Chains A and B, each alone.
Chain A
Amino acid sequence: MLDEKSILANKKALFAMAVEDALSEAGQPWNKIVTNELLRGYKCSISDCIDHPEYLKDVLNQTFGHADIVVISKIKKNLGEFGQERSVNEFLQVLAK
């Protein structure tokens, strides 16, 4: 049986993978750029954004402008069926605002 901590860690890892894959479609270094911006602006990493989706939304918008919707829709697609889960669903709702 997985304890609560392991489930959270797995969820964070899965979430980080979904975001990194969405960013790397344009080029792997975009991961680094977004990571830097999160660190600079909010002192957090990509995986921490599952608890603070507004940070990720803000950084994506500040970096890509109107084109942030491309990355956001790819993240949504990558999360697929996990989007039904409450925490992921809430996260996606904040991103899509």
Chain B
Amino acid sequence: MQTNLDELKSSKSLLFCLFAVVFVVIVSNLAGSQAATITTDILYVPVAGGLLVLSIIIAVKFKGKGETGRAYLLFVTFVSFWFAGEVVWLRSELVYHLVPFPKETDLLYLAGYPFLFAFMIYYLKPFRIAISKKMIWNASLATMIFFVPTIYAMYSYNPAASLPEIVWAALYPLSDAMILFPAVLGVALFLKGKVNLLWSLCCIAIILNIMADSGFLFLDTDNSVHSGNPVNILYLWAYILFAFGIYSQVKLFTLPKMKSFGKVDDLK
């Protein structure tokens, strides 16, 4: 009962965070593209920072012990790269007014992907014998559903863009599609378990990233993109979903309240 109540509270908080992001980004866009750029760039720091703090908390709780402990150290590294990417982006755009290509932030974001992939592999490793052929087939199918349209889009988007620009932009959706494979495996493996919430939210976050990256690929090729574009809502939502997924794991460590037990004999 207590757990259901906690889950309800968490889902309310999650919905509130998702709506708050939409509200802030849309209102700032109504105020103009410069206001939207400043607001969105700044918004990324607490959102990605919150995820970094939560991932450090869970890594400390697991103390790097066992495969799951090592997995969380990899997750912290992944989030650190992306958080650094957000801070460097903010500094480049708002302080130095630079938009170089390829951006140094791209290197930071792309460097994070192998660590996210490794996190999932290490997490799944102790449970690998429970992975069925059907799960692998479903995960492959889900990956291909996103992989193939992305490859197609890479060639069909604005042909005026240079090949290096298109390849550079396409690296993101392709990397997302690759990390989707272990994420879908995790969802299938831990189905009906409390651990599944982390994997489900990670999976949705990755799909949101694929959609946002594909959107950016489209906008980037005809130079109609700006940092405050509403497509950023998807990136921010992805951070929030990752954060709530990690929070669901942190909550597993919370001890039940002892006062509700009454007599000590009831514990036996």
Contacts and interface: CB of A to CB of B under 8 A. Distances in A.
B2 A27 contact: no
Contacts of B188: 66
Given A27-B67, A70-B126, A70-B130, A65 B253 contact: no
Most buried by B among A32, A33, A36, A48: A33
A24 interface: yes
A90 interface: no
A63 B194 contact: yes
A36 B127 contact: no
| B contact face: mostly helix, strand, loop, or mixed | helix
A40 interface: yes
A54 interface: no
A29 B65 CA distance: 8
Nearest to B70: A27
A26 B193 contact: no
Contacts of A93: none
Contacts of B67: 25-27
Chain A at the B interface: mostly helix, strand, loop or mixed?
Answer: helix
A40 B194 contact: no
Contacts of B63: 28-29
Contacts of A25: 66-67, 126
Contacts of A43: 261, 266-267
A66 B3 contact: no
B53 interface: no
A54 B254 CA distance: 23
A68 B130 CA distance: 8
Nearest to B68: A27
Interface residues of A, number: 28
A38 to B, nearest CB: 10
A84 B254 CA distance: 37
A26 B69 CA distance: 8
A81 to B, nearest CB: 22
A88 B63 CA distance: 33
14 contacts: A26-B67, A26-B126, A28-B63, A28-B66, A29-B61, A29-B62, A30-B68, A36-B253, A61-B193, A63-B194, A67-B127, A67-B193, A67-B195, A73-B129
Interface of A: 24-30, 32-33, 36-37, 39-40, 43-45, 48, 61-70, 73
Given A33-B252, A63-B194, A67-B130, 7 more contacts: A28-B66, A30-B68, A36-B253, A43-B266, A65-B195, A66-B130, A66-B188
